[in-house]
Amino acid sequence: MSNTVETALLWAKKLLKNSECESYSLDAELFMMKVLDISRVKLFIDMDRKLSDSEFSSFKELVEKRSSGVPTQYILGSCEFMSLDFEVNPFTLIPRNDTEILVETAIESFEKNGTKTFIDIGTGSGCIAISLARYTGATGVAVDISQGAIETAKRNAYKNGVSEKINFVLSDCFENIDEKFDAIVSNPPYIKTDVIKGLMREVRDNEPYNALDGGSDGLYFYRKISNEAKNYLNEKGSIFFEIGYDQGEEVRDILLNEGFSDVRIIKDLAGLDRVVTGVKK
C-alpha cells in the first residue's frame, strides 16, 4: 500500500515524539514540505496525495536523521534570523532567537551614535554581521577561527545582498586584524567546559564544539576580547556581548576592570540577563 501525505506524517510524528523531539509535529511537516517543495497551505490541502516511493524514501531519511538527534535546521540546511534566511551546517552554530536581542541592541546604538564600522568576533553563519549590515548603514569585518564557517558566512552575505559591506577574515579573535572600529559585537562561546556534556544531544553531539566551549568558567572569551578590545576600538567605541543568563554581573565586572564606561546589562524577553554593553573611555 502506498503512503499518502497524511499517513506518512502520522508515522513521522509518532517516531519523532517517541524520540523525544519537542517539535515533532512541526518538524515532520517541514520535512514533507521540503521533499515535495510545497507551502504549508498546500501541505494541508494535499493530505490525500499519494507519495511516490522516492518521495517517501527521501522523507523517511530526513525523519530518521531527526530522530537520531540531528537538529532540524541542519537537516533543512537553513533557518530564519532577524527575518532573514541563513544557510546553516555543522560548521556553524544554529542562530538562536535570543541573539536577536544582541543585534537589536547594537542596531539601536548604531543609529543613535552614527556607528560606521564594526567587527563581529566569532561570526559563525554570519547572522549577526549580516543583520547589522542589512539593517544599518554600517560596514564591517567578521572573523571566525573556522574556514568552513567563513565560507558559509560569505554565502549568506551574498544571499542577503550585503557581500560588499562585510569583509570575512579567518582569525582567532583579533589575531589577523590591524584596523580599528566604532563597535565590537560578539556572541562568543560561553558554556562552561564541564557543562557541555550535559547539554541536549542536538547541541552536544552536532553543533561545533569550539562555538560552545567558553573555558572552565565560561568567561574565557569575554576576558580575552575585553582585554584586547581597546586596541581595536575608536575613541568612544562600543562593545556588545551576548551572555549566558547567569553571567551578567561577571561580564559587567570584566568590562569595568578593563576600563570601559557606561556598562549596562540588558535583559531578554523572558527577563533574563542577555546582553552586556560598554563604551571605551
Annotated binding residues, written as ranges, equal 122-126, 144, 187-190
Instruction: Identify the CA nearest to 276 among candidates 97, 100, 102.
Output: 102
DSSP secondary structure letters along 37-101? T--HHHHHHTTTPBPPHHHHHHHHHHHHHHHTT--HHHHHTEEEETTEEEE--TTSPPP-TTHHH
Cβ(244)–Cβ(254) below 8 Å: no
What b-and-e string marks burial along 179-198, b requiring 16 or more CB atoms within 10 Å of the CB?
A: eebbbbbbbbbbbbbeeeee
What residues are designated binding site for substrate? 187-190
What residues are designated binding site for S-adenosyl-L-methionine? 122-126, 144, 187
| Long-range contact set of residues 25-29: C-beta below 8 Å, sequence gap at least 24 | 27/63, 27/66, 27/72, 28/63
